Amino acid sequence: MFNIRKVKDTIVSKSVIPTSTTARMNAKLLADNFKLKEDTSKLKELLETLQAQSPDVAVQSPVAVQPLTVEKKMEQTRIQARVSTMTLLDEKARKSQEGYSTSSRFLIRNCKVGLGALNCPNQKIYDQIVEDNTKLMAHGKAPFTSYESWVQASENESVGSNPEVTWKKFQDPVLASSTVPVYISSQDYFLMYEQDQCYFLTGKMAVPSILKRSASECVSGQTVDNSSILMSKGVGKYRDMTKAEYDDIVSSQPPISDLMRVYIPFVNESKVLLDVSKAKTIWSD
């Protein structure tokens, strides 16, 4: 026999004459090896027999069950909570979409319940899509019926990775106000007084402006025509038109040039619209 061992990074081999003790140890190892093979063969036969008797029962080797750590328990809790939230949101979305069909020209549904989208990950996103759908449907556009379609629409609005370009999402104006405006027929413009503000609309204006005047009352004699001015932020102090001033304008029916000598149009940031189809016409005397 040869004995191979390592001595200070050098492999040394030498012939060893087996003693009686070494022979007995080798014989025992061989016997144990044969016995192990025999036991393994018997175990395999037993597993095959059990499998043949019960084919629906899977015979598996025992596996030690590792206890869950605190992190794993927390992760499982978060997953279960998210699945439960998404399930509840999907049920709410399906109920809100009852009666809606993309192929139908008519829609019969409860307008007080916003139309939600399926597969929303949380309540916040669900509420945002409901708000977007309400605006879309109010203007005759198709709503988002799934979270994926909402995300895809947002991605299509992206302008890429150009850092010099900023993108602002377009928002449709709100619906027309329920307040009935007046139409000054002799001068061809509309006026509406709502919430202490006077809205002015004429020509090809898409959105009406808000008429304001300087807080100083010593401006009645100015002769500047402000019809081509649209202010977003005024330098100085300006105030809204009073109801008495509005009634006086409706009564006197001044031309636009005279109206703009006193009042200045400001940007209608809320994008309030006038329902001109219901306007009350004021005829000249």
- Say what the pLDDT of residue 231 is: 81
Indicate the pairing of strand 280-282 with strand 182-184: parallel
CB atoms within 10 A of CB 219: 14
Spell out, as residue ranges, where the chain has pLDDT lower than 70. Answer: 1-44, 46-47, 50-68, 102-112, 155-175, 217-223, 233-236, 285
Q: What is the identity of the amino acid at 251? A: S
Residues with Cβ within 8 Å of 174's Cβ and at least 6 positions away in sequence, in order, are 270, 271, 272, 273
Every domain of the chain and the residues it spans: 74-154, 182-282
Read off φ and ψ for residue 223, nearest 5 degrees. Answer: -115, 15
- Say what the pLDDT of residue 138 is: 72
The 3-state DSSP class for residue 211 equals strand
What is the per-residue pLDDT across 161-201, written as a single tens digit (0 to 9) for each? 444 544 455 455 556 888 999 999 999 999 999 999 999 99
What is the separation, in whole angstroms, between the first and last Cα of the chain? 132
* Reported pTM: 0.41
What is the per-residue pLDDT across 44-86, written as a single tens digit (0 to 9) for each? 676 677 666 665 555 455 555 666 677 777 777 878 877 888 8
Phi-psi region of 185 (alpha: psi -120 to 50; beta: other; left: phi over 0): alpha
